[in-house]
A and B are shown apart, each in its own frame.
Chain A
Amino acid sequence: MTDLFLVYKNLTRKKMRLFLTCFAIFIAFLIFGAVSALKGALDSGVEMSADNRLVVINKINFTQPLPFSYVNKVKALDGVKNVTHANWFGGYYQEPSKQLMTMAVEGATYFKVYDELTIEPENYTNWMKNQTGLLIGERIAEQYGWKVGDKIPISSNIFSHKDGGHTWQFTIQGIFKPLDQKTDTSYVILHYKYFKETQTFGGTSVGWLILTTQSPSLNEQVAKAIDANFVNSAAETKTSTEKAFNKAFIEQIGNIGLIIYGVVFMAFFTILIVVGNTMVLAVRERTKEIAVFKTLGFSSMRIFKMILTESFLLSFIGGLLGMVGAYLVVGGVSKGLAGILPNLLIGPNTWAQAIGYMLLLGFVTGIIPAINALRLNIVSAFSRA
């Protein structure tokens, strides 16, 4: 028998109470783990954006197009390195519910602007030669099991063919891969030219422009110059860094960060009360036993440590189970959500934070009963009982 065994016996003496308390902690950490993973996934787009990349959209909002002529006008401005453009295709595979993020781009400049993506030179050349060629991101290749040479029909929920249909046939010519695994590659790209020639409306417009500046220090200056250039025109622009753009895009869903912290705070506040209360009660019920321990000669410090160990143990049992639960849940849904939310995972930071919260919870809920036990006077404990 050891002190740890005594702690274990004390912890498990009321099974139902142990279960309920652990369950409360479990739920709180489950929420924390899942919600942190969600936030991490949302933030990863912001985090991975290049420092010197700007996005130019129509000032009205990003679903409004820009004239094609803007591409060359922007290219001519000082401080601009490369410019490319993209159109939203509204793609899906087989059924409208199977969204496939598809963009029509200019092949010649696309990879100059997105230089964190790599592709086999031979595949790239083939794609450039083939009007109906398609390039797919590595994540898409993994998700659908597609290979170079596969013929894939992609439908659009926005555009239709000149001959009526909504579905285009493409041949996969290559797979682009990121230098950093966190970079999102869960989308496919097709030739803008082919898109323009075959679809029925839209004229000669592009969805948005993406450009790189000579240096991040020029970002602000270039952004101002672009917007100034098109002021009072039919299509005024709004230029921002890719980081800011991605952030603004996420914030359209609401201030996720605040909601997340709100939820996590509530969950932790609740268990703090529940677990703290349970610990105080559990130790108060044992007042006389603690007095007996002291009478036998156990030092007050030793009892103090045992009670603190008990609260840490409680916090870690519930907390680790909750995190494992979150890990399983996140792992389970991340495959299905790979298209919308890549990078949905519980990262080392979240684990470290969770351990930190477990330590904090164990300490905060254990310290008061532990101090009560430390100070407990044998004589008054017996006369009270």
Chain B
Amino acid sequence: MSEKNIFKLTNLVKRFTKGKETLSIFEDLNLSIKEGDFVAIMGPSGSGKTTLLNMLGGVDQPTSGEVEFDGKGIEKLSENQLAKWRASNVGFIFQFYNLMPMLNAHRNVELPLLLTQLKSKERSQRVETALELVGLKDRAKHMPGELSGGQQQRVAIARAVVSDPKLLLCDEPTGDLDRQTADEILEMLQLLNREFGKTIIMVTHDPSAAKFANRVLHLDKGKFVEKELSL
């Protein structure tokens, strides 16, 4: 883990307005995350975990405040610029995998590579490498519906890493899995963090999942309560 910050949030404010009602999620949130860290964000349902992750991933924008990634503010980028930024910097892993049901595992993993200049052959090689990494080389031709939940999540992980982004954002990645399968997924994330240097920010409400992280942040009522893990 380096000493460099990958994220620096300054005076972050996020409010949702519905008609005349304004719902305040964050008022003046500050946070730094080191490059190469594996951070778990915990907190009760509705505490704003997903909202925070969305702002870090550039799919949602703060009401005010700064989101600095690698020293550059991303909160003011246009929708198209953000799309490009996501394609080259972020891998997303969702609770319900979100694979394309009409595409087989290989093609699902290939999707992010359609946003690169890579030729078809290079793309295939990369996809194979990614599938091998998650131990699903022999399932390349399987459709998502033919795979178990754990296998689908592994395909999703392959999709998230295939274009080699430095950041992985995971929203409840094990929320839909049994204990044993969840641990396998978490070990895989740990491997990606330790061996491949990926910065991982993972939202979870499962304390045993949070144990896999290096740092655990507790979000409550729009504020962080930091507790270092005693390993």
Bound-state Cα–Cα, A12 to B101, Å: 12
In this assembly, does A298 line the interface, its C-beta being within 8 Å of a C-beta of chain B? yes
Check if B115 sits within 8 Å of A295, measured CB to CB. no
A297-B83, A297-B84, A379-B54 known; A10-B102 Cβ under 8 A: yes
The 0/1 profile, CB within 8 Å of B marked 1, for residues 1-29 of chain A is: 11100100110110000000000000000
Decide yes or no: A379 and B59 within 8 Å by CB, A297-B87, A298-B83 being known contacts: yes
A378 touches B115 (CB 8 A): no
- The distance in angstroms between the C-alpha atoms of A378 and B57, with both chains bound, is 11
Q: Does the CB pair B102–A297 fall under 8 Å?
A: no
Residues of B170-223 contacting chain A, CB below 8 A = none
Query: Which label, helix, strand, loop or mixed, suits the secondary structure of the B interface?
Result: helix
Given A1-B107, A300-B79, A379-B54, the answer on whether A295 and B59 have CB atoms closer than 8 Å is: yes
Is B164 in the interface zone, CB < 8 Å from A? no
Query: Which residue of the partner chain A has the closest CB to B99?
Result: A292
The one of B94, B98, B102 in contact with A13, judged by C-beta atoms closer than 8 angstroms, is: B102
Q: Give the contacts of B80-106 with A (CB-CB under 8 A).
A: 80, 83-88, 92, 94, 98, 100-103
Contact B87 A296, beta carbon cutoff 8 Å? yes
Which of the residues A289, A294, A299, A379 comes within 8 Å of B100, measured between beta carbons?
A289
Give chain A nearest CB distance to B158 CB in angstroms: 13
Interface assignment of A288: CB less than 8 Å from any CB of chain B: yes
Residues of A in contact (CB 8 Å), total 22
Which residues of A35-84 are within 8 A (CB) of B? Answer: none
Identify the interface centre among A289, A300, A379: most chain B CB within 10 Å of its CB: A379
How many Å lie between the Cα of A69 and that of B86 in the bound state? 94
Is B112's CB within 8 Å of the partner chain A? Answer: yes
Known A-B contacts A296-B87, A298-B83, A300-B79; the reply to A1 vs B98 at CB < 8 A is no
For B115, the closest partner residue in chain A by CB is: A297
Report the Cα distance A293→B86, complex, angstroms.
11
Type the 1/0 row for B109-124, where 1 means its CB is closer than 8 Å to any CB of A. 0111011000010010
Residues of chain B within 8 A (CB-CB) of A295 are 57, 59, 86, 92
B60 is an interface residue with CB less than 8 A from chain A: yes
A294 to B54, CA, bound (A): 13
Chain A contact residues, CB within 8 Å of chain B: 1-3, 6, 9-10, 12-13, 288-289, 292-301, 378-379
12 A-B residue pairs with CB within 8 Å: A2-B114, A9-B102, A13-B102, A292-B98, A295-B57, A295-B92, A296-B112, A297-B84, A297-B85, A299-B80, A299-B84, A301-B80
